[in-house]
């Protein structure tokens, strides 16, 4: 069967050239794990730093692993993270389609072209395709490798089932260059003749990747370092076609600890999980950017970056060969910084659903104002503010505080003085409550803390609270504050 050379010329003519083009190419197999998010981020940053094009491609050739709704998770995550793509299945572009299963005919044509060029061959053996990477396949035993093209074509034309395999040179070495790891050389005899086209006509991941990256004009291929072992075979495919080889960027793994890679199977969090745990998208992205990359020069000490600042600062020279350990405490630190940096209005909006989990009627804005400087994760909020809704059970031992110089007797005297004073205030404002309590402390000849501690314990029923006695009383309102203070006094009687 002769090949239509005009088809290949037209495909070449479509390829955009002259600027940096990167792609994020996830498989729709479920959640977006942290390593995947980092790949998307780095790929986006390389494109944006160079004023280039960022492409989304959906790699669904492994139909058995597809998960319903997983493509929507990819779109939703990229949108939430503001990693906008210039080309993709939903926005189109000059090298559509951007979904691999819709490009099936293309792969078959290029595989046959590679056969004609002598860099691939038809294989009629019964070997199970799933065992390809197990190392069991010895190409020296494959009789199909020795078939002439005419013999093989006759068997194909007769309807015999086949796969198409890459013909790896038996002798010599293959050297490829990686932007992070440098030059790596492997002996060709250690590489297997991998399957390029399966019996069902679908391409393998490794083949589809190379064809699409070339036809989409991809200049930088960002992927995990677990693909370093496949890179020589990719190189040989590019060389077999006579194509330019893109810049390889193999990222070191994200680890749970020194020994173990992060994995959903072991309960490690995905992006969605981290959101559910109360982490902000901006903090997650900022932290993930620094898992394997460090800023250099004047900004070497900078920790907090907006997405725009990351795009300006990002360079391949700052990337590390060493695995990065995902530290939830460090992410929590970043999250706290991001929460503090929000405007009060933005923080109140973000905090509202968490406040409302615990507190039904009181002012969200007033409670949020107490929380912003005292909150590391949004999910901390319900527990911190539940006392506003209902006074928890507490013991009289809370009224004892060495620093405030209080014990049950002192606390009883303070509440006995505070209750009538608060009852008699003309207005229930922050200022009125504060001035009333400080004037009372002066009159009683005690430090402010000696009066404030028992008032706060009686009002909140717990030792650690967002905000002090004044703010808590103000938010609770006069009637509820006095009710709680009288209950505290009864405990101390």
What was the pLDDT predicted at 135?
46
Laid out side by side, the sheet with 120-123 consists of: 120-123, 163-166, 195-197
Q: How far apart are CA 446 and CA 261, in angstroms?
A: 58
**3-class SS at 131?**
helix
CA distances 439 to 74, 151, 403, 436, Å, are: 59, 104, 21, 5
| Among candidate residues 24, 31, 64, 195, the one with its CA nearest the CA of residue 121 | 195
CA dist 95 to 71, 86, 211, Å?
Answer: 20, 12, 12
DSSP for 226-254, please give it: GGGGGHHHHHHHHHHHTPPPPEEEEEPPE
Q: Residue 24's closest CA among 179, 217, 221, 204?
A: 221
Phi, psi at residue 169, to the nearest 5°?
Answer: -60, 140
State in Å, rounded, how far the first CA of the chain is from the last one: 100
Can you give the pLDDT at residue 66?
74
What are 104's two structure tokens? Answer: 């099936």
pLDDT for 398: 98
User: What pLDDT is attached to residue 1?
Assistant: 54
Is 264 among the residues known to form the active site? yes
The pTM assigned to this predicted structure is 0.91
- Identify whether the C-beta of residue 452 lies closer than 8 Å to the C-beta of residue 468: yes
Least Cα distance to 23 among 240, 153, 217, 196 occurs for: 217
HSE-up (13 A, CA, CB side) for residue 299: 15
pLDDT at 134: 45
pLDDT at 79: 97
**CA nearest to 339, candidates 313, 304, 292, 302:** 304
* pLDDT (tens place) for every residue of the chain, 493 residues total: 568 899 999 999 999 999 999 999 999 887 889 999 999 999 999 999 999 999 999 998 777 777 788 899 999 999 999 999 999 999 999 999 999 999 999 999 999 999 999 999 999 997 655 444 444 455 556 789 999 999 999 999 999 999 999 999 999 999 999 999 999 999 999 999 999 999 999 999 999 999 999 999 999 999 999 999 999 999 999 999 999 999 999 999 999 988 888 877 777 899 999 999 999 999 999 999 999 999 999 999 999 999 999 999 999 999 999 999 999 999 999 999 999 999 999 999 999 999 999 999 999 999 999 999 999 999 999 999 999 999 999 999 999 999 999 999 999 999 999 999 999 999 999 999 999 999 999 999 999 999 999 999 999 999 999 999 999 999 999 999 999 999 999 999 8
* Greatest Cα-to-Cα distance within the chain, rounded to the nearest angstrom: 108
Is the preceding peptide bond at 97 cis, omega within 30 degrees of 0? yes
Q: How far is it, in rounded angstroms, from Cα 284 to Cα 272? A: 11
Candidates 264, 321, 405, 443; catalytic one: 264
């Amino acid at each position: 069967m002769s090949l239509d050379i005009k088809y290949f010329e037209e495909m070449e003519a479509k390829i955009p050239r002259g600027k940096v083009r990167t792609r994020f190419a996830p498989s729709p197999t479920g959640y977006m794990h942290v390593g995947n998010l980092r790949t998307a981020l780095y790929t986006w940053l390389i494109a944006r730093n160079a004023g280039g094009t960022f492409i989304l491609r959906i790699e669904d050739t492994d139909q058995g692993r597809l998960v319903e709704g997983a493509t929507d998770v990819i779109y939703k995550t990229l949108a939430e993270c503001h990693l906008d793509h210039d080309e993709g299945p939903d926005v189109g572009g000059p090298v559509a389609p951007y979904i691999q299963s819709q490009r099936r005919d293309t792969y078959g044509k290029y595989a046959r072209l590679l056969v004609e060029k002598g860099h691939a061959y038809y294989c009629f053996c019964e070997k199970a395709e799933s065992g390809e990477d197990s190392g069991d396949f010895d190409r020296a035993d494959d009789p199909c490798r020795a078939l002439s093209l005419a013999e093989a074509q006759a068997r194909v034309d007769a309807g015999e089932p086949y796969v198409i395999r890459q013909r790896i040179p038996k002798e010599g070495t293959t050297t490829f260059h990686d932007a992070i790891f440098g030059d790596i050389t492997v002996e060709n005899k250690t590489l297997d003749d991998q399957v390029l086209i399966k019996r069902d006509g679908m391409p393998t991941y490794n083949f589809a990747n190379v064809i699409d990256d070339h036809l989409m004009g991809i200049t930088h291929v960002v992927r995990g370092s677990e693909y370093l072992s496949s890179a020589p075979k990719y190189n040989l495919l590019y060389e077999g076609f006579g194509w330019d080889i893109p810049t390889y960027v193999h990222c070191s793994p994200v680890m749970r600890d020194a020994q173990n890679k992060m994995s959903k199977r072991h309960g490690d969090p995905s992006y969605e999980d981290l959101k559910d745990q109360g982490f902000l998208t901006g903090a997650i992205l900022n932290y993930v950017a620094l898992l394997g990359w460090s800023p250099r020069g004047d900004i070497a000490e900078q920790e907090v970056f907006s997405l725009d600042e990351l795009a300006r600062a990002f360079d391949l020279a700052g990337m590390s060969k060493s695995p990065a350990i995902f530290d939830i405490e460090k992410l929590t630190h970043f999250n706290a910084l991001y929460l503090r940096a929000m405007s009060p209005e933005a923080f109140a909006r973000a905090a509202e659903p968490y406040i409302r989990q615990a507190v039904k009627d009181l002012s969200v804005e007033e409670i949020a104002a107490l929380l912003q400087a005292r909150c590391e994760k949004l999910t901390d909020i319900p527990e911190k503010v539940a006392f506003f809704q209902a006074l928890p059970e507490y013991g009289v031992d809370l009224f004892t505080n060495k620093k405030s110089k209080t014990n049950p007797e002192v606390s009883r005297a303070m509440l006995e003085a505070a209750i009538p004073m608060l009852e008699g205030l003309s207005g229930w404002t922050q200022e009125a409550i504060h001035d009333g309590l400080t004037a009372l402390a002066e009159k009683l000849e005690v430090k402010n803390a000696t009066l404030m501690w028992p008032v706060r314990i009686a009002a909140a029923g717990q030792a650690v609270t967002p905000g002090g006695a004044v703010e808590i009383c103000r938010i609770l309102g006069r009637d509820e504050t006095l009710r709680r203070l009288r209950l505290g006094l009864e405990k101390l009687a």
